[in-house]
Amino acid sequence: MSNIDDLITRLAQDAPGVKPAPHPVMLSLEWALGAVAYVGVSLMISGLRPDLMLKLQEPLFFAEVATLAGIFLATCLSAALLSFPDLHQKRRIVLAPAVTFALFMAAIFLAWKADVPPSPPPIHNLECTLSITLLATLPAAWTLYVMRKYASTHQYWAGSIALLSAFSVGALWLRLYEPTDSIVHVIEWHYLPMIVISLLGMWLGKAILKW
């Protein structure tokens, strides 16, 4: 009996330590700070739209940018919670992106109603969607890589929210860079592709986050 006890003691001592998983709030904060730095560097390279300071004084533009940033923060926290099988018993907080997205849609609707006569659209269209997608690739890959370390049991939603979070980073960068006032252009080529990206995220989530 003592030999068995000694064996158990030795095995317990030799067992490697397991690093505890971070709290979802800390994980989402890590993603958020990384994205802020990423957008900052991207804007240093691309430059800001020349009238940004004046535009931020316009309530509707400020509301659009603020709610877009809100989508990003909410999706960061939601993605962090979705990384764990029990959602850290915070099921309601997982739905936070729905609230911020509703506020964002309201801001966009008011901006569209106020754009009379409609501002002229830029000469480019698809380039905006491609630019946002390209910029979103790195944060999307990083988020999915980190999420894969845990044991999500909601792969479809986790992947969708992860890509929506990354795409909102790219959309925020382009809104601060591109000097356009055409809300129709912004809706069609900046924001509607979010739906396609979210659907793609569901497929990626199932493929990447399964275990």
Tens of pLDDT, residue by residue over 147-190, are: 998 878 899 999 999 999 999 999 999 999 999 999 999 999 99
Question: How high is the pLDDT of residue 23?
Answer: 84
> Up-side HSE of residue 102: CA atoms within 13 Å toward CB?
4
* Region 142-151 average pLDDT: 90
Could you tell me the pTM of the whole model? 0.87
205 with 155: CB under 8 angstroms?
yes
Q: What is the mean pLDDT of residues 100-124?
A: 93
Q: What is the pLDDT of residue 11?
A: 46
Which of 85-89, 115-119, 126-130, 142-146 comes out lowest in average pLDDT?
A: 85-89
pLDDT band at 15 (very low <50, low <70, confident <90, very high): very low
Lowest pLDDT segment from 92-101, 118-127, 129-138, 153-162: 118-127
Q: What is the dihedral of CA 155, 165, 66, 30, to 10 degrees?
A: 100
Residue 196 has pLDDT above 80, yes or no: yes
65's torsion region: left (phi>0), alpha (psi -120 to 50) or beta? alpha
> What pLDDT does residue 153 have?
87
